[in-house]
Structure 1
Amino acid sequence: MPVLSCSELNNDDKAQLCKLVRKSLSYSINKQHYIPSIPPTSEVLNQKKASFVTLYTQGGLRGCIGTYIADTPLYKDVCDHTYSSACEDPRFLPLTQSELKTVSFHISILSELVEMENLGENILFKRLNPKLDGLMLTQGSKRAIFLPSVWEQLATAEEFVTALKQKGGWRAEYWSQDIELFKFNVCSIEADYE
C-alpha cells in the first residue's frame, strides 16, 4: 500500500486532523484522552494508517510518539499519538497549561514500510534519500525508527544511520548482516496550537 499522498488529503481533511490534534492537546493537559464521539465522515480519515505526532515548544522537541503499524483509522491514530506525545513520552514531563499556547505540531502519516536488502552499511548510505526517507532498523529485540524530519538535525546518511543505531541500543560502529532495514516516506502536516 503506497503512502497516503498529501494530495489525497483535501484542505478539509487536513483542517480536521489539525482540529483533532488541538482538541486532544486541550484534553491532555487534564490527563484526559480525546476521541471524537462521532467519527469524521471523510473516507480518507477513516482509512487505517500509521502516524506519528511530534510536538514542539519554543522550537525544541517536546514529545514524539507514533507507530509504524497501520491498524487504526487515521483520525483515531492521530488522537492517540497526540495524547501520548503530550503525556507519555518518557523523555519529558506531561504538557502543562502554560506550555499549550507555545505548542506547534507535526503530523506524519507513514507509508507502508518497504524492506531493503542489507548489502552493508556503505551501500545503505548510498541508497538513502536525505530529507525524504524514514528508516527503521531491527535485529532481535532491538528496533529503532527515524522519521524523515530527523534529516533536519542529521544532514548526512552516515550521521542519520549512526544516530539511529545508537537510539536502538547498538554501538555507533556496529554493523551486522542480520540487521533488517525498512524504508518509508511520510505525508506531513505542520501547524500551531493557536
Structure 2
Amino acid sequence: MLTENSKRILLKAAKEAVISAVNGDKFNRIETNEPELLEKCGCFVTIKNKGRLRGCLGVFTASKPLIDMVTEMAASSATNDPRFYNDPITPEELEELDIEISVLSPLRQTDDPASLRIGQEGIYIRRGMRSGCFLPQVAEETGWSVEEFLGNCCTGKAGLDYYSWKDPDTKVYLFTVEIVKDSFK
C-alpha cells in the first residue's frame, strides 16, 4: 500500500508530466526519498475527459523507479497513445482531465483464467507475437462477466479469436492494482 504522501507525489509528478508533454515543455524530474516510489514496478496511467478515454499506456515490468515510470507513462499517455494521434489532448482541455495511476503487482500466470476475480484482477493475454491487457477497472466500467472480460481482451486487444484464452498455447496472466486518481482542477 502506498502512503498518502507517496500518492500525492505520484499525482503531482503525473500531472506535471502531462501538462509539460501537452504544452511541449521540458519536464523536470520530481525528486523523492520515498522508498516505495524508488522501487521498480509496472504501472499504467489513464487519462479521461468527462469519462471519455483520452490516453492510457503502461508497462508490466519496469527498468526504472516507480516515480520515473509514472512520469514517463503519464507523458506518453497524453501524447503518444496511438488511438489518439488524430485527436491529441489540447492545452485548453487540461483543466477538464482526470488522471488515474494503476500501480501493478507482479504478473502471475494462471492455468485457470476463468478463476480471475472480476474487478479485482486485471489480465494480460499473450499468444505468439500478439498480446493485450485489461486493467481490473475495465470489468467494472463495462459490466462484463469473466468470460466477456477474457474474450473481449482476446479479440479487441490481442487480435485473437474470442475463446483463445481457453487454448493451452495462450498464456494468461493475472495482476492486481493499487489505484491513485485525481482531477486536474
TM-score by length of 2: 0.92
Q: 2:3 aligns with which of 5, 10, 29?
A: 10
Tell me which residue corresponds to 1:140.
Answer: 128
**In percent, how many aligned pairs have the same letter?**
29
| Residue 31 of structure 1: how far off its partner (Å) | 2.8
| Residue 45 of structure 1: how far off its partner (Å) | 0.8
Tell me which residue corresponds to 1:86.
Answer: 78
2: CA distance between counterparts of 1:48 and 1:108?
14
RMSD of equivalent CA atoms: 1.4
1: CA distance between counterparts of 2:92 and 2:153?
32
Question: In terms of mean alpha carbon deviation, does 183-192 or 146-155 score higher?
Answer: 146-155
Tell me which residue corresponds to 2:100.
Answer: 106
Tell me which residue corresponds to 2:154.
Answer: 165
Q: Which has the higher helix share?
A: 2
2: CA distance between counterparts of 1:74 and 1:35?
16
2: CA distance between counterparts of 1:136 and 1:35?
32
Does the 8 A contact of 1:31 with 1:87 survive in 2? no
Tell me which residue corresponds to 1:68.
Answer: 60
| Residue 35 of structure 1: how far off its partner (Å) | 4.4
Tell me which residue corresponds to 1:130.
Answer: 118
| Residue 139 of structure 1: how far off its partner (Å) | 1.0
Question: Which portions of structure 1, spanning 4 or more consecutive aligned residues, are displaced by more than 6 angstroms?
Answer: none
1: CA distance between counterparts of 2:78 and 2:71?
11
Q: SS in structure 2 opposite 1:164?
A: helix
Residue deviations 1:58-116 (CA, integer Å, cap 9, x gap): 11111000000132100000000001100000111321111101000110000000111
| Residue 43 of structure 1: how far off its partner (Å) | 1.1
Residue deviations 1:135-157 (CA, integer Å, cap 9, x gap): 11111101111110111214201
TM-score by length of 1: 0.88
Size of the alignment, in residue pairs?
Answer: 180
- In the alignment, structure 1 residue 41 sits paired with structure 2 residue 30: no
| Residue 178 of structure 1: how far off its partner (Å) | 0.3
Residue deviations 1:12-50 (CA, integer Å, cap 9, x gap): 1111111111111210112345241x6311111111111
AA paired with 1:159?
A: E
2: CA distance between counterparts of 1:46 and 1:19?
16
Does the 8 A contact of 2:45 with 2:73 survive in 1? yes
Q: 1:185 aligns with which of 176, 180, 185?
A: 176
- In the alignment, structure 1 residue 28 sits paired with structure 2 residue 21: yes
2: CA distance between counterparts of 1:55 and 1:78?
12
